[in-house]
Chains A and B, each alone.
Chain A
Amino acid sequence: NAGVTQTPKFRVLKTGQSMTLLCAQDMNHEYMYWYRQDPGMGLRLIHYSVGEGTTAKGEVPDGYNVSRLKKQNFLLGLESAAPSQTSVYFCASSFTGTATNIQYFGAGTRLSVL
């Protein structure tokens, strides 16, 4: 059972470079989320999607873009990476957006921006 798969697992970028993080889920979930995890700050929501073709801003969206062209995939893009974007990025998905619905997380992508 794959669940939520994130690629790549690790990446090092130079300031100003761009990259895309891929999240794929095989559970037919409608909702998908991108979080970042920083030391001492817990997880913070970057962007989310309530269905194919939709995206919305979360708590810390600046410097990131997302796309949900297919229901099973949610891409997170950094157009011009900055050292402040050094973090661990987690993707999650849930069947619905109700408050009680469980979010399932991927294993994370560790990104360093030099």
Chain B
Amino acid sequence: AQSVTQLGSHVSVSEGALVLLRCNYSSSVPPYLFWYVQYPNQGLQLLLKYTSAATLVKGINGFEAEFKKSETSFHLTKPSAHMSDAAEYFCAVRQTGANNLFFGTGTRLTVIP
């Protein structure tokens, strides 16, 4: 069975500070991993995805994530938070042959001026 755990339902950072959102996966085989962002009253947008090509994945808006097989993690980072980064972030996993994404419970990011 595959699942995703996001540690911390709420994360607050100061503007300009490092953003770190944690995601750990449980999968019997190497998965494909995704980070989506949801701004208020909007649908989910893809930030980045890991497809086994490179362990460090760069996404939109300055975000990146590193796949660490030994830690079964795919944490999302951004060096300097901006007010516009305030949103909810979802980590998701999908395996070859599966028809759907399995989502984590989400992390709401607040950026403090």
User: What is A's interface to B at a CB cutoff of 8 Å?
Assistant: 4, 31, 33, 40-45, 48, 50, 56, 58-59, 90, 92, 97-100, 102-103, 105-108
Contacts and interface: CB of A to CB of B under 8 A. Distances in A.
A42 B103 contact: yes
Interface in B15-64: 32, 36, 41-46, 49, 51
Contacts, number: 58
B47 to A, nearest CB: 11
Contacts of B84: none
Interface of B: 4, 9, 32, 36, 41-46, 49, 51, 90, 94-101, 103-106
Given A42-B90, A56-B99, A99-B94, A106 B43 contact: yes
Given A42-B90, A56-B99, A100-B51, A4 B43 contact: yes
Say whether chain B's binding surface is mostly helix, strand, loop, or mixed.
loop
Contact of B100 (A4, A45, A90): A45
Given A56-B99, A99-B96, A100-B32, A40 B44 contact: no
Nearest to B95: A99
